[in-house]
Amino acid sequence: MSTSTPPRLPDGAHLPELAERVWSAVADGDEYSATEIVLHALDRGIDPESVLLDVIAAVQGRVGEEWAANRITVAQEHAATSINERAVVALALHPAARTAPSRGRITVACVDGEWHALPARLVAEVLKLRGWQVDYLGAQVPAPHLIAHLHTTKADAVALSSSIATRLPTAHAAITACQAVGVPVLVGGAAFGPDGQYARLLGAQAWAPDARGAADRLAEGPLPRPRADHQQMDDLPHLADQEYTMVARNSAGLVRAVFGALADEFPAMRAYDDMQRERTAEDLAHIVEFLATALYLDDEALFSWFITWTARILTARGVPAQSLPPALNLLARELRDFPRAVRILQRGVDALTTDHSTANGTPA
Amino acid sequence: MVVADPTGVVVQRNDAAQALLPAARPGARLADAVPRWLSAAHRSIRLPGPRAANEAADESGVPLSGVIAERRFEAHPSVRDDGTVAWWLVDDTDRQLAREALHMERERTAFLAKASSILLSSLNLGRCMDVTAQMAAENLADAALAIAPVRGRRLPVVTCLRGGAPSASQEAVDPDEVPGLGEALRGFPPVPSRWIDPSTAPEWMIPEGFGPIGAIVITPLPGHGVPAGALVLLRKEGSGAFTEQEEIFARLFAARSGAAMSAARLHAEQTEITEVLMRELLPPALHQISGVDFAGSYRPSADHERVGGDFYDVHPATVEGEPSLVTLGDVCGKGLEAAVLTGKIRNTLHALLPLADDHQRMLSLLNTALLSSHHTRFATLVLASAVREGNEVLVRLTSAGHPTPVIIRANGTVEAADTHGTLVGALPDVRSSTATVTLAPGESCVLYTDGITEARGGPLGDSQFGEERLKRALAGCVGMPAEGIVEHVQMLASQWLAGRRHDDMAVVAISAPRTHHLSAVNGHTRGRYTA
């Protein structure tokens, strides 16, 4: 208002430097500075989409890296994320981000149990900037809410986000439910694999690697109409063996059994305090959750990837990872009647023994 | 039966053949006396012998057939030893007709089944109209319009050309100007499909680039008590009018899409009613008020619900500089009924706002109100009056039988507020004690309901989340913005549950903002009430 609109700076100008400044504000827990830097960038005429994706998303990526490297805690990660979210909200309210809807209507949501809302939020804001009417439903949207929303609004498509692979069975149920009411689904987020292989496996109409990709895909033209008679089982015939169902339903029992047996094999565990015992049980619960997901997708490699990643995380946190192979073996003993599960666990043990020599970077 | 020799001359025929093929007298050339398909068949099979005759018939796997005197005949040759061929002609007309009818019936049944399953799956009026227009255009006509009853002054129309995509529009027209349309849209009394003269069709009814129209029929969509709309089918000039069969079929389709569209309308109306009634019951979106950060998060016990027996509100002070009042509570029970009671409590508390500085008095009055109502439920709650003093936030907290609020200090310690009291709505008197705490910049006070601490689960599936675990988690939340804290608590509780059943869960955080940029505005002055 005080000055005439400044000319838009070319994309890419100062963006890494801006990201660096926002990062230090975020790392410092200083939401005001973070928001101020973002708003100032918009005042200077930097393209809002670039600020969203090349500054805020870049900072968020760094938050994840810092967490994986144990340089910040989960709570700090959360704090950084909520500061980033506030920056996005502030950006969305800035006059430079105001765009009149000129295209169709898109529903953006996170899968139930998915708490990482920022990627979906970024997609929502980018789509708004590109002229879509967007209904942003936020983090962890239960399928009944999503479907009720689709019944009341006439969305052209749903953009569904999930970052954690263990949410994929839930994501699949949500994808199929959306398709059943006639709405095509575009999925994105780390859960669907680096090249989106799980998006294809789970029958999504489209996959996008990031917010820009999602916006570009939707701009290309309408997504294909879902088939009318499609059912969840059609994508994954291997579910007929019920191994996923049994493991998922009985996961707490499995964790208890392995936890008890592990204490016998690992005398050191008896000296653990309550916190350490709880951590160990949590790790086991994660392993079972990933095993169930690998069974659901029939993907041994997913589990091997997870178990080697866990070993590295444990090592980074100074926790000895040598209890992992015995834990997997104990789990395999519990599940001896489930051939797919046993095979997946065996591959996991193999991956752990070879990983020491071939460790190359942290998988994202 | 007609017998012909290898040169194509008729040798013999029976009476039936005489009646059917009068020209095929013995001695006549087959080519002159029978239709070409038969004489050609004769030429192609007469040599070299019996085997070839069988092969001729077998080549395509189906018997030779063709039309004689407007009826369809199958022709079965048998080659005799002398080289002559006896053609046995079997009238196949009726079987053929039956086969065609069966095929068409199957196609139509498949189409209706498909239409039903697509229409059944959606409760969205717009989508049902899209499907109706598109399926009709693909299967019944060259173009189709699905028209819903007038809303406001506009007529919602979805148009679809065969092979095209449905497009929606709102037409500012009077449906009564089109013969038959007004009646069809009224839904009562029932009217039959109606033909209209293409030349009288209004412009909006003709899709762009459609060309000259051959026929238009308007079919009402039966809605079972609610007007559902009308289906308009258009055919191009030259593509034939609608047969009676086709019209019947169109009505069968219309019955299905009418049922779907009226269900969608009812659903939309119900949703609207629910929306309006629910609005007051939904947890409010919280934000910063007068220099104090507020954030809240709510998770009802059931996934499909949006409200439950927990509630929270933040009431800004009417006078700047006075404290805002935060209320967070839990009504015994869950689900919609509990939510209705939370609405009453919230209204009562709202009415008591002028007394907001006297928590004890507010609670007593609320208690009396609850005791005298016909609800037998009781509630626990926390009242918190929060006001910014300099760069600190002063909070007065009173718990009425509710889990004790927790303070997160900047040094990472977590302390419980020293407030106790009895629940409301059960006993004639309520007693409570109020705690006063001061939040330095970056410090927060967290109010929560027992749905959080009583969440049962964990990696072994059998323990409560508990206060200790909550305090440990909050100790890691030092310096987090208010939204971050409530999100973090909800996330931990939800992960602890891992999909198990749970009670309603509500969390509210009151935070003193970290005041970098406010230092210019009296930020470093210590508050009056700070010790």
**Per-residue pLDDT reduced to its tens digit, B24-66:** 888 888 888 888 888 888 888 755 544 444 544 445 556 788 8
> What's the confidence (pLDDT) of residue B62?
64
pLDDT at B402: 96
The yes or no reply on domain A239-358 and CATH 1.10.3720.10 is no
Cβ burial, residue A320 (10 Å; 0-12/13-18/19+): exposed
Cβ pair A256:B460 closer than 8 A: yes
**Residues of chain A contacting B124 with CB distance shorter than 8 Å:** 150-154, 181
The full set of domain ranges for chain B reads 2-91, 98-276, 293-520
Residue-averaged pLDDT of chain B: 87
Of A124-133, A351-360, B143-152, B421-430, the least confident: A351-360
Query: From CA B396, how far away is CA B34, in angstroms rounded?
Result: 109
Would you call A257 an interface residue with chain B, using a CB distance cutoff of 8 Å?
A: no
Give the chain B residue whose CA is nearest to the CA of A145: B304
Q: Do B303 and A228 touch (CB under 8 A)?
A: no
Tokens coding B123: 């409760």
Q: Report percent pLDDT > 70 for chain A.
A: 94
Specify the amino acid at residue B498.
A
Pick the CATH number of B2-91 from 3.20.20, 2.60.40, 3.40.390, 3.30.450: 3.30.450
- B→A interface, C-beta within 8 Å: 114, 117-118, 121-124, 126-127, 131, 165, 267-268, 271, 303-304, 306, 442, 458-462, 473, 476-481, 483-484, 487-488, 491, 494, 498-499, 513-514, 516-517
Helix (H) / strand (E) containing B336: helix B335-351
**Do A269 and A262 contact (CB within 8 A), yes or no?**
yes
Given pLDDT bands bounded at 50, 70 and 90, which one contains residue A356? low
What is residue B200's predicted lDDT score, i.e. its pLDDT? Answer: 86
User: What architecture is domain A101-235?
Assistant: 3-Layer(aba) Sandwich (3.40)
- Provide, as residue numbers in chain B, all residues whose Cβ is less than 8 Å from the Cβ of A81: 484
The type of residue at B173 is V
Average pLDDT over residues B70-99: 87
In this structure, are residues A78 and B487 in contact, taking their beta carbons and an 8 Å threshold?
A: yes
- Do B293-520 and B2-91 have the same topology in CATH? no
Cβ neighbours of residue A162 closer than 8 Å, sequence gap 6 or more: A110, A111, A114, A168, A171, A187, A189, A191, A192
- In terms of phi and psi (left: phi > 0; alpha: psi -120 to 50; beta: otherwise), the region of B238 is left
**Average pLDDT over every residue of B406-410:** 95
State the Cα–Cα distance between residues B181 and A2, nearest whole angstrom.
57
User: pLDDT at position B467, please?
Assistant: 95
Give, for B337, the enclosing helix (H) or strand (E): helix B335-351
Average pLDDT, chain A: 89
CA distances from A9 to A44, A46, A51, A93, A226 (A): 8, 5, 12, 20, 42
Fold topology of A1-98: 1.10.1240
CA distance B203 to chain A (A): 26
* Predicted model pTM: 0.83
Cα–Cα nearest to B301, from B327, B278, B276, B333: B333
The angle at the Cα of B478, spanning B475 to B484, to the nearest 5 degrees, equals 105
**CATH class, B98-276 region:** alpha beta
Mutate to test the interface with A, among B472, B488, B496 (most CBs of A within 10 A): B488
Contacts of A85 in chain B (CB under 8 A): 483
Asked whether B437 and B387 are in contact (CB, 8 A), the reply is no
Record: contact A73-B481, CB cut-off 8 A: no
Domain boundaries, chain A: 1-98, 101-235, 239-358
Instruction: Please state the ipTM of this predicted complex.
Output: 0.85
Q: What pLDDT score does B53 carry?
A: 47
Contacts of A37 (CB under 8 A, 6+ apart): A18, A21, A22, A25
Give domain B293-520's CATH superfamily: PPM-type phosphatase domain (3.60.40.10)
pLDDT of B490-523, one tens digit each?
Answer: 999 999 998 889 999 999 999 999 865 443 333 3
- Tell me how far apart the alpha carbons of residues B220 and B327 are, in angstroms, rounded to a whole number: 54
How confident is residue A13, by pLDDT bands cut at 50, 70 and 90?
low
Q: Which of A205, A43, A51 has its CA nearest to residue A126?
A: A51
Q: Taking residues B362-379, what's their average pLDDT?
A: 87
Mean pLDDT of B136-151: 92
A223 vs B82, more confident: A223
d(CA B134, CA B421): 65
What amino acid occupies position B62? V
pLDDT digit string (tens) for A51-66? Answer: 999 999 999 999 988 8
